[in-house]
Structure 1
Amino acid sequence: MSQHIFIVEDDPNIRNIVSAYFKKEQFTLTMVDNAEEAWELSRSGQPDMWILDIMLPGMDGYELCKKIRQESDVPIIIISAKDEEVDKILGLELGSDDYLTKPFSPRELVARVKRLFKRVELYQSHKNEQKNQQFSSGGLIVELTNRRVFWHDEEIEVTAKEFELLKSLIQNQNRAFSREELLTLIWGEDYFGSDRAVDDLVKRLRKKIDGLPIETVWGYGYRFRNDDGDHQ
């Protein structure tokens, strides 16, 4: 499905030119010449982006921008004949993401729209990635982003090294790690101490979390055992 853009512009010549460029790029457009009608149309479904002229009959673009921002984080580009710095700052303070001064090149507007959509896509991707950085197994939940550990809904206080060990194992469930691998992952390649440090770390975690499914692989190392595949 193509991205849907609401363009609010009272100049028919600009609407026609901009429309031709955006349709060529396969965008879906709704063209409106006043803010009131645009606002009413948006009640039945927000577009993926707004492009707002400032000097409009009735409600101006600043006021519409403010109303949109009270309800949504949808990207907004303001276009205006006003080239004063204070006008650009006002537009940004009211929540617009970009500001383009008339006269402008339609190609530049299309390029800015594409760049803004890309920025939003990257932000959402990062946001979802952060949101999903949680691993669970049985009664254990490990929040990687917040570095918090819960066992049957009770938060468990762990040290930085304990957390790194748990993180390394739970991100690779059912895989056996040698003590040497875990030493490198947690302490770094420059660590020259005994691999018994790993044993001590596992021992401390098991003491804090009774029933923690970290198995000893005799003569080798450790694995986080998960037979039900309950992880995300």
Structure 2
Amino acid sequence: MQKNILLVEDDVDISKLVTSHLEQENFTIFTAFDGEEALTLLRKNKFDLILLDLMLPKLSGMDFLKQIRSTNLIPVLIISAKGTDIDKALGLGFGADDYISKPFSMIELTARVHAAIRRATQYLPKENQSKPTTIHFKELSLDLNTFSAKIKDKYVQLTSKEFHMLKLFMTNQNRVFTKEQIYNFIWEDDYYGDENVINVHIRRLRKKIEDDPSKPKYIQTIWGIGYRLGE
């Protein structure tokens, strides 16, 4: 089935270049040139991925991201010239799933797009599945069919990266994962020592599921090694 991508980019030349390349990869591309136009398209269409620039007129990429994350789990890949660690942390903290800095190669962009969509769709229920598959740990439950999480019977809004990360821990409850292993499993890409990406996602996930993020009982730090699901 052909996948739909919402490209939110105010640079017309870049928008045309990305659109042309991804259409050759059999994606259907919808383009928006400001944040408000992107919100309108998102309300009217179903998308498998959003490619989002940060520097947008009318409504910034960050404000757009904050608005949609309150109700939507769609994967978001930021594409921006603002490539500092602070901007990366802000983008990921507001719910972006991945980040690629301009200038980027079309080969790298295509690989990240395929990986993001693959991660987001691999947990969708198959037609012959009538019952949900749910993982439980303490007061936390993860439904692999509905792509949802509950803590103390209350739903928790997770990004696709957070969902995959939590699933990794909950399906390997006795295993400690290094940051490199987490990156390789979740991002499906080579790890170049960018610990900030992992740290931001762990911190954000803890805020959503822990009673006291400074004393986590679900995602615990094993100093000098990595992280594991709490005992």
Bin for the TM-score computed over the shorter chain: 0.5 to 0.7
Equivalent-residue separation in structure 2 for 1:146 and 1:84 (angstroms):
38
Equivalent-residue separation in structure 1 for 2:121 and 2:4 (angstroms):
15
Deviation at 1:41, TM superposition (A): 1.8
User: CA separation of 1:13/1:125 partners in 2, compared to 1, >3 Å: closer, same or farther?
Assistant: same
Equivalent-residue separation in structure 2 for 1:53 and 1:145 (angstroms):
35
User: What's the counterpart of residue 33 of structure 2?
Assistant: 33
Equivalent-residue separation in structure 1 for 2:89 and 2:135 (angstroms):
34
User: What's the counterpart of residue 51 of structure 1?
Assistant: 51
Pairing 1:88–2:88 present: yes
User: What's the counterpart of residue 6 of structure 1?
Assistant: 6
Equivalent-residue separation in structure 1 for 2:136 and 2:38 (angstroms):
41
User: CA separation of 1:146/1:44 partners in 2, compared to 1, >3 Å: closer, same or farther?
Assistant: same
Q: CA RMSD in A?
A: 2.5
Superposed CA deviations along residues 178-224 of structure 1, whole A, max 9, x for unmatched, are xxxxxxxxxxxxxxxxxxxxxxxxxxxxxxxxxxxxxxxxxxxxxxx
User: CA separation of 1:146/1:111 partners in 2, compared to 1, >3 Å: closer, same or farther?
Assistant: closer
Equivalent-residue separation in structure 2 for 1:58 and 1:146 (angstroms):
43
Equivalent-residue separation in structure 2 for 1:113 and 1:146 (angstroms):
31
Equivalent pairs counted in the alignment come to 136
- Unaligned 5+ residue runs, structure 2? 138-231
CA contact (8 A) 1:8 1:34 kept: yes
Q: What is the 5 A alignment of 1:43-192?
A: 43-124=43-124, 132-133=132-133
Superposed CA deviations along residues 52-74 of structure 1, whole A, max 9, x for unmatched, are 00001121101111111111100
Deviation at 1:107, TM superposition (A): 1.7
TM-score by length of 2: 0.54
Equivalent-residue separation in structure 2 for 1:145 and 1:59 (angstroms):
38
Equivalent-residue separation in structure 1 for 2:107 and 2:57 (angstroms):
26
Identity of counterpart residues, as a percentage?
A: 40
Equivalent-residue separation in structure 2 for 1:131 and 1:7 (angstroms):
35
Equivalent-residue separation in structure 2 for 1:5 and 1:41 (angstroms):
11
Larger radius of gyration: 1
CA contact (8 A) 1:130 1:145 kept: no
CA contact (8 A) 1:8 1:31 kept: yes
Superposed CA deviations along residues 65-118 of structure 1, whole A, max 9, x for unmatched, are 111111110000011111110100110110010011011112211110101111
Secondary structure of the corresponding residue to residue 95 of structure 2: coil
User: What's the counterpart of residue 42 of structure 1?
Assistant: 42
User: What's the counterpart of residue 22 of structure 1?
Assistant: 22
CA contact (8 A) 1:21 1:107 kept: no
TM-score by length of 1: 0.54
User: CA separation of 1:63/1:130 partners in 2, compared to 1, >3 Å: closer, same or farther?
Assistant: farther
